[in-house]
A and B are shown apart, each in its own frame.
Chain A
Amino acid sequence: DADVTQTPRNRITKTGKRIMLECSQTKGHDRMYWYRQDPGLGLRLIYYSFDVKDINKGEISDGYSVSRQAQAKFSLSLESAIPNQTALYFCATSDPAAPSGGHSYNEQFFGPGTRLTVL
Chain B
Amino acid sequence: GESVGLHLPTLSVQEGDNSIINCAYSNSASDYFIWYKQESGKGPQFIIDIRSNMDKRQGQRVTVLLNKTVKHLSLQIAATQPGDSAVYFCAENKAIGNKLVFGAGTILRVKS
Contacts of A4 in B (CB 8 A): 43
Contacts of B43 in A (CB 8 A): 1, 4, 90, 92, 110-113
Contacts of A42 in B (CB 8 A): 89, 91, 102-105
Is A43's CB under 8 angstroms from B44's CB?
yes
Q: How large is the interface on A (under 10, 10 to 19, 20 to 34, 35 or more residues)?
A: 20 to 34
Which of A11-19, A33-41, A64-72, A73-81 participates in binding chain B? A33-41
Is A107's CB under 8 angstroms from B46's CB?
yes
Interface centre among B34, B44, B91, B93 (most CB of A within 10 A): B44
Is A58's CB under 8 angstroms from B99's CB?
yes
B54 within 8 A of partner (CB): no
Q: How large is the interface on B (under 10, 10 to 19, 20 to 34, 35 or more residues)?
A: 20 to 34
The total of interchain contacts (Cβ-Cβ below 8 angstroms) comes to: 70
Of B3, B98, B102, which contacts A39 at CB under 8 A? B3
Of A41, A96, A108, which contacts B104 at CB under 8 A? A41
Contacts of B32 in A (CB 8 A): 106
Is A39's CB under 8 angstroms from B99's CB?
no
Within the complex, what minimum Cβ distance (angstroms) separates A51 from chain B?
13
Is B44's CB under 8 angstroms from A106's CB?
no
Within the complex, what minimum Cβ distance (angstroms) separates A21 from chain B?
14
Contacts of A48 in B (CB 8 A): 99
Instruction: Give CA–CA (A43, B15) in the complex, Å.
Output: 28
Within the complex, what minimum Cβ distance (angstroms) separates B98 from chain A?
5
Contacts of B8 in A (CB 8 A): 40
> Per-position contact with A for B20-44: 1 when CB-CB < 8 Å, else 0?
0000000000001010000001111
A24 within 8 A of partner (CB): no
Is B6's CB under 8 angstroms from A39's CB?
yes
Within the complex, what minimum Cβ distance (angstroms) separates A34 from chain B?
12
B4 within 8 A of partner (CB): yes
Contacts A40-B8, A88-B4, A106-B46 known; 7 new A-B pairs at CB < 8 A: A45-B101, A48-B99, A103-B46, A104-B34, A104-B48, A112-B42, A113-B43
A-B CB proximity, top 5 nearest: A110-B43, A42-B102, A39-B6, A40-B7, A107-B46
